[in-house]
Amino acid sequence: MTDDTLWRQLVARFPTLAPLVHDMGDGETEMLMAADGLSRARLERSGNRVTLEALDDRNDRVEIDRVCINALQLECAAKNRLIKALPFPVWQHDAAERIVWANRAYMDVVGAGQDIWPIPRIAGHDMSTDGGRLEMGDRQYVFASTESVDSIICALLPTGEARGAGRINQSMSRIFSQLPNGLAIYDAEGRISAFNPAWLDLTGLAAEWILTNPLRNSLFDRFEACGIAGQIEGEDLRTRFARQAQRNGQIMEIWRQEDGRILRFSANLQEDGSCGFMLEDATAEIRQVQRAQSELSSYRAAFDALPGATALCDRDGALTYANHAFRKIWPSARPGQSWGELSDQWRLKIPAGDIPDLHALTGSGDRVEPLEDRALQVNPLGQHGFIVRYNPEMTADAVLESWRA
């Protein structure tokens, strides 16, 4: 990798890197936030040498990847809707056999006024045995269960004529076909076994080709040949999938298309070698996040342009953000530092009497009291905490001197 290539990659990851390198003075230190809003780095200048150090905070403030969380929430919501729509009883109970959750079919079987739960207990069935048959009214069921984290998920699978199973399959097929996200399922031998119409719409692949039952690696090669998925850091999709499969069996990537669309591709590999793929059109969501990040960058740039040393603190007194003038006076100030840690740094420049006590600021805890007659001027920001401004002309010594004059 050439120096120019490395520089372009660093500038792309840290948008404020180039102007800071140009404007920094000898001995100054700056904190950089990556474009993804998660990673941070420290930039220091010593003479003609500039050092960029990636930070691994490992603090108590958990950063959440919004894209991953949204994908997980969508998947959980789809599964929840599916279980609710199933025509046979499904429920969840704890170790004491208290019902935690049940679908609509369960409530229909129990009926109004029934207070003996769960269903197998009503029928006198031993719930420790899977595969047991139960008779409820004029219908027969097979009991099945699986353990969750601290509970058990159970189902009563209907038996009898194939026509009933056909109705279940038809219901499942309708739900599968109407999902807006593209779904494809590959069996343990690596061949496609099911897909929905949205999969064809989002991939642009011909139905004739899909119906030839292509192998999973053939699908990856077709994705790259059509330009749907490209190489990332020199690796093709087949290599990336194999590497992630060995690690945790899951993969999620963002693919940018020539027509401006942004697709989110995710896969989940099972122990038997089968896997499921999901493709989503995440254009609107990701662009909304990008606009929010752009607005946030603009607000930070405007905040940095303020001539006075200014900082934002949350309701607990922890530093949220400090502008350039503030960091120049107190270069060791870092986001997340407590009010006590900040006070130790302020004492190097400000008399102790001009540093307000945090409990005096919050009072009863309902509001922040404004303090404007001292070097550190504090103003409330409602539920967002408060803003701190440093005015060197308002130190206790300076005020006393002005009174004497």
User: What confidence score (pLDDT) does residue 374 get?
Assistant: 65
Counting residues of the chain whose pLDDT is more than 90, the rounded percentage is 0
User: What confidence score (pLDDT) does residue 300 get?
Assistant: 85
Q: Looking at the predicted structure, is the pLDDT value of residue 364 above 80?
A: no
290 domain-assigned = no
270 three-class SS: coil
The phi, psi pair for 163, rounded to 5°, reads: -65, -35
Residues 316 and 388 in one domain: yes
Peptide bond into 118 cis (omega under 30): yes
pTM of the model: 0.41
Q: Looking at the predicted structure, is the pLDDT value of residue 82 above 50?
A: yes
Residues 324 and 258 in one domain: no
- Residue with structure tokens 């077709």? 222
- Give residue-wise pLDDT tens across range 149-205: 778 888 887 765 334 444 545 555 666 667 788 888 888 888 888 888 888 888 888
Q: The domain containing residue 276 runs over which residues?
A: 181-285
pLDDT, averaged across the chain: 76
Supply the CATH number for residue 141's domain.
Answer: 3.30.450.20
Q: Looking at the predicted structure, is the pLDDT value of residue 67 above 80?
A: no
- Residue with structure tokens 């064809």? 200
User: Which amino acid does the sequence have at 358?
Assistant: L
71's tokens: 């994908």
107 domain-assigned = yes
User: What confidence score (pLDDT) does residue 121 get?
Assistant: 59
Q: Looking at the predicted structure, is the pLDDT value of residue 17 above 70?
A: yes
* Among 133, 127, 124, CA closest to 145: 127
348 domain-assigned = yes
User: What confidence score (pLDDT) does residue 399 get?
Assistant: 41
- Give residue-wise pLDDT tens across range 119-133: 665 555 555 555 566
Overall domain count for the chain: 4
Residues 147 and 233 in one domain: no
Residues 198 and 267 in one domain: yes
Residues 95 and 141 in one domain: yes
- Higher pLDDT pick, 120 / 20: 20
Residues 131 and 201 in one domain: no
90 domain-assigned = yes
Cβ atoms of residues 329 and 309 within 8 Å: yes
Average pLDDT over residues 239-262: 82
User: What confidence score (pLDDT) does residue 344 get?
Assistant: 85
Residues 127 and 97 in one domain: yes
User: What confidence score (pLDDT) does residue 229 get?
Assistant: 81
79 domain-assigned = no
Domain termination residue (choose one: 96, 131, 165): 165
Domain termination residue (choose one: 165, 195, 218): 165
Least confident among 11-25, 40-54, 147-161, 385-399: 385-399
User: Which amino acid does the sequence have at 321?
Assistant: Y
Query: How far is residue 225's CA from residue 243's CA, in Å, rounded to a whole number?
Result: 21
Q: Looking at the predicted structure, is the pLDDT value of residue 262 above 80?
A: yes
- Residue with structure tokens 């270069």? 331
User: What confidence score (pLDDT) does residue 171 get?
Assistant: 57
81 domain-assigned = no
Band (340; pLDDT cuts 50, 70, 90): confident
- Give residue-wise pLDDT tens across range 91-124: 888 877 778 788 888 887 776 545 546 666 555 5
Q: Looking at the predicted structure, is the pLDDT value of residue 28 above 80?
A: yes
Residues 42 and 116 in one domain: no
Cβ atoms of residues 197 and 175 within 8 Å: no
Domain termination residue (choose one: 106, 141, 165): 165
Query: How far is residue 329's CA from residue 339's CA, in Å, rounded to a whole number?
Result: 17
295 domain-assigned = no
Query: How far is residue 378's CA from residue 355's CA, in Å, rounded to a whole number?
Result: 10
Counting residues of the chain whose pLDDT is more than 70, the rounded percentage is 74
334's tokens: 């870092």
Residues 265 and 208 in one domain: yes
Residues 317 and 403 in one domain: yes
Query: How far is residue 110's CA from residue 133's CA, in Å, rounded to a whole number?
Result: 17
- Give residue-wise pLDDT tens across range 30-42: 888 877 666 788 8
User: What confidence score (pLDDT) does residue 152 get?
Assistant: 82
Average pLDDT over residues 296-324: 86
- Give residue-wise pLDDT tens across range 200-232: 888 888 877 887 788 888 888 888 888 888 666
**Per-position DSSP letters for 286-351, written without gaps between them:** HHHHHHHHHHHHHHHHHHHH-SS-EEEE-TTS-EEEE-HHHHHHSTT--TT--HHHHHHHHTTTS-
Q: At what angle do helices 162-178 and 66-85 cross, to 10 degrees?
A: 150
Average pLDDT over residues 221-244: 79
Average pLDDT over residues 357-364: 63
Q: Which residues contact 235 (CB under 8 A, 6 or more apart)?
A: 243
Supply the CATH number for residue 325's domain.
Answer: 3.30.450
Residues 189 and 252 in one domain: yes
Query: How far is residue 89's CA from residue 136's CA, in Å, rounded to a whole number?
Result: 12
Residue 215 gets which letter from DSSP?
B
Band (59; pLDDT cuts 50, 70, 90): very low
73 domain-assigned = no
